[in-house]
Amino acid sequence: MSSYSVPPDGLDANEEFIRNESASISDVMLDAIVQALHEDDAEAVRNLVIPMHAADVAELLTLLNTEQRHECMEALREVLDPDILAELSPDLVEEVIETLGPEKSAEAIAQLDTDDAVYVMEGLEESDQFEILEALTDAEYRGELREGLAYPESSAGRLMQTTYVSVPEFWTVGDTIDYLRRELDLPDDFYTLTVMDPRFKPVGSLLLSRIMQNKRETPIRDIMSSDMKLISTEMDQEDVALMFRKYGLVEAPVVNEEGRQVGVITVDDIVHVIAEEGEEDFMKAGGVSGQDLHADLLETVKLRLPWLIINLGTAILASFVVSRFEDAIEKLVVLAVLMPIIASMSGNAGIQTVTVAVRGLAAKEIKQNNMWALMRKELGVGLLNGLVLGGVTMAIITVYLGDFKVAAVFSCALLLVMMVSGIAGFAMPLILERFKIDPATAAGVFLTTFTDVASFFVFLGLASWVL
Amino acid sequence: MSSYSVPPDGLDANEEFIRNESASISDVMLDAIVQALHEDDAEAVRNLVIPMHAADVAELLTLLNTEQRHECMEALREVLDPDILAELSPDLVEEVIETLGPEKSAEAIAQLDTDDAVYVMEGLEESDQFEILEALTDAEYRGELREGLAYPESSAGRLMQTTYVSVPEFWTVGDTIDYLRRELDLPDDFYTLTVMDPRFKPVGSLLLSRIMQNKRETPIRDIMSSDMKLISTEMDQEDVALMFRKYGLVEAPVVNEEGRQVGVITVDDIVHVIAEEGEEDFMKAGGVSGQDLHADLLETVKLRLPWLIINLGTAILASFVVSRFEDAIEKLVVLAVLMPIIASMSGNAGIQTVTVAVRGLAAKEIKQNNMWALMRKELGVGLLNGLVLGGVTMAIITVYLGDFKVAAVFSCALLLVMMVSGIAGFAMPLILERFKIDPATAAGVFLTTFTDVASFFVFLGLASWVL
The single-letter DSSP state of residue A84 is: H
In the sheet with B202-207, reading across from the earlier edge strand, the strands are B166-168, B192-196, B202-207
Decide: residue A420, CB within 10 A, 0-12 exposed, 13-18 middle, 19+ buried. buried
Put simply, the answer to whether B244 touches A271 (Cβ < 8 Å) is yes
pLDDT score, position B22: 57
- Residues B345 and B340: their CA atoms lie apart, in Å, by 9
Question: Can you name the residues that pair with B225 across neighbouring β-strands?
Answer: B205
Superfamily of domain B166-284: CBS-domain (3.10.580.10)
Put simply, the answer to whether A202 touches B351 (Cβ < 8 Å) is no
Give residue-wise pLDDT tens across range B278-301: 777 788 888 887 777 878 888 899
pLDDT score, position B5: 34
Name every residue whose Cβ is closer than 8 Å to that of residue B423 and which is 6 or more positions away in sequence: B375, B378, B379, B382
CA distance B165 to chain A (A): 11
Q: Is a pLDDT exceeding 50 seen at residue B131? A: yes
pLDDT score, position B12: 42
pLDDT score, position B227: 79
Structural element, H or E, at residue A193: strand A192-196
∠ CA(B362), CA(A36), CA(A300), 5° rounding?
40
A-B interface: how many C-beta pairs under 8 angstroms? 424
- Residues A64 and B370: their CA atoms lie apart, in Å, by 7
CA distance A134 to chain B (A): 30
CA-CA-CA-CA torsion for B172, B176, B178, B182, nearest 10 degrees? Answer: 150
Structural element, H or E, at residue A410: helix A404-434
Q: Is a pLDDT exceeding 60 seen at residue A279? A: yes
Give residue-wise pLDDT tens across range A19-35: 344 567 888 888 999 99
Residue of B nearest to A202 (CA): B14
pLDDT score, position A275: 80
pLDDT score, position B23: 67
Query: Does domain A3-151 fall into CATH 1.25.60.10?
Result: yes
- Residues A6 and A424: their CA atoms lie apart, in Å, by 57
- Residues A405 and A38: their CA atoms lie apart, in Å, by 69
Give residue-wise pLDDT tens across range B429-447: 999 988 888 887 777 778 8
pLDDT band at B4 (very low <50, low <70, confident <90, very high): very low
Q: Which one of A14, A22, A329 has the shortest CB-CB distance to B230?
A: A14
Mutation target for A interface from B185, B311, B457: give the one with most A CBs within 10 A.
Answer: B311
Q: Is a pLDDT exceeding 50 seen at residue A368? A: yes
Decide: residue A246, CB within 10 A, 0-12 exposed, 13-18 middle, 19+ buried. buried
pLDDT score, position B155: 93
pLDDT score, position A439: 85
A20-24, A46-50, B339-343: segment of lowest average pLDDT: A20-24
Question: Can you name the residues that pair with B231 across neighbouring β-strands?
Answer: B254
Q: Collapse the DSSP code of A168 into the 3-class scheme (helix H, G, I; strand E, B; otherwise coil) and give the result.
A: strand
Put simply, the answer to whether B287 touches A351 (Cβ < 8 Å) is yes
Q: Which of B406, B77, B245 is nearest to A23 (CA)?
A: B245
- Residues B190 and B183: their CA atoms lie apart, in Å, by 14
Q: Is a pLDDT exceeding 80 seen at residue B182? A: yes
Mutation target for A interface from B178, B308, B385: give the one with most A CBs within 10 A.
Answer: B308
Put simply, the answer to whether B309 touches A214 (Cβ < 8 Å) is no
Put simply, the answer to whether A367 touches B30 (Cβ < 8 Å) is yes
Q: Which of B447, B338, B464, B309 is nearest to A340 (CA)?
A: B338
Beta-strand runs (E) in B53-208: 166-168, 192-196, 202-207
- Which amino acid would we find at residue A19? R
Q: Which of B50, B55, B131, B130 is nearest to B86 (CA)?
A: B55
pLDDT band at B123 (very low <50, low <70, confident <90, very high): confident
SS3 content of chain A, % helix, strand, coil (to 5): 70, 5, 25
Select the CATH number that applies to the domain covering A296-466 from these four: 1.10.357.20, 3.40.50.1370, 3.20.130.10, 1.20.1250.20. Answer: 1.10.357.20
Put simply, the answer to whether B384 touches A304 (Cβ < 8 Å) is no
Q: Is a pLDDT exceeding 50 seen at residue A17? A: no
Put simply, the answer to whether B348 touches A275 (Cβ < 8 Å) is no
Q: What ipTM score was computed for the predicted complex, to two decimals? A: 0.79
- Which amino acid would we find at residue A321? V
Give residue-wise pLDDT tens across range B31-71: 999 999 999 999 999 999 998 989 999 989 988 888 899 99
Q: Which of A286, A95, B187 is nearest to A278 (CA)?
A: A286
Give residue-wise pLDDT tens across range A170-193: 999 999 988 988 887 787 788 889
pLDDT score, position B7: 35
Query: Does domain A166-267 fall into CATH 3.30.70.60?
Result: no
Q: Collapse the DSSP code of B39 into the 3-class scheme (helix H, G, I; strand E, B; otherwise coil) and give the result.
A: coil
Q: Is a pLDDT exceeding 90 seen at residue A454? A: yes
Half-sphere exposure of A357 (CA within 13 A, CB side): 34
A6-15, A85-94, A161-170, A272-281: segment of lowest average pLDDT: A6-15
Q: Collapse the DSSP code of A308 into the 3-class scheme (helix H, G, I; strand E, B; otherwise coil) and give the result.
A: helix
Q: Is a pLDDT exceeding 70 seen at residue A13? A: no
User: By the 8 A CB rule, do A25 and A12 touch?
Assistant: no
Q: What average pLDDT score do residues A271-299 get?
A: 81
- Residues B338 and A436: their CA atoms lie apart, in Å, by 34
Q: What average pLDDT score do residues B100-117 get?
A: 91
Of residues B290 and A407, more confidence is placed in A407
Q: Which of B358, B421, B163, B319 is nearest to A400 (CA)?
A: B319
Put simply, the answer to whether A392 touches B271 (Cβ < 8 Å) is no
CA distance B279 to chain A (A): 4
State the CATH architecture for B292-466.
Orthogonal Bundle (1.10)
Mutation target for B interface from A4, A35, A381, A426: give the one with most B CBs within 10 A.
Answer: A381
pLDDT score, position A22: 57
The whole-model pTM stands at: 0.79
Q: Is a pLDDT exceeding 60 seen at residue B274? A: yes
pLDDT score, position B15: 42
- CATH code for the structural domain at B3-154: 1.25.60.10
Sequence ranges of the domains in chain A: 3-151, 166-267, 296-466
Half-sphere exposure of A145 (CA within 13 A, CB side): 26
Q: Which of A97-106, A292-301, A414-423, B302-311 has the highest mean pLDDT?
A: A414-423
pLDDT score, position B391: 95
Mean pLDDT, all residues of chain B: 87
Question: Can you name the residues that pair with A232 across neighbouring β-strands?
Answer: A255
Q: Is a pLDDT exceeding 90 seen at residue A419? A: yes
Q: Is a pLDDT exceeding 60 seen at residue B185? A: yes
Long-range pairs, A148-151, Cβ under 8 A, ≥24: A148/A114, A148/A115, A148/A117, A148/A118, A148/A121, A149/A118, A149/A121, A149/A122, A151/A233, A151/A234
Put simply, the answer to whether B275 touches A272 (Cβ < 8 Å) is no
Phi, psi (deg, nearest 5) at residue A12 = -80, 165
Burial A16-43 (b: 16+ CB within 10 A, else e): bbbebbebbbbeebbebbbebbeeeebe
Structural element, H or E, at residue B441: helix B439-466
Q: Which of A281-295, B265-279, B341-355 has the highest mean pLDDT?
A: B341-355
Put simply, the answer to whether B189 touches A209 (Cβ < 8 Å) is yes
Half-sphere exposure of B318 (CA within 13 A, CB side): 33
Residue of A nearest to B14 (CA): A230
Give residue-wise pLDDT tens across range B353-402: 998 998 888 878 888 888 899 999 999 999 999 999 999 999 999 998 88
In the sheet with A192-196, reading across from the earlier edge strand, the strands are A166-168, A192-196, A202-207
A 10 A CB-CB count for A302 gives 11
- Residues B178 and A285: their CA atoms lie apart, in Å, by 55
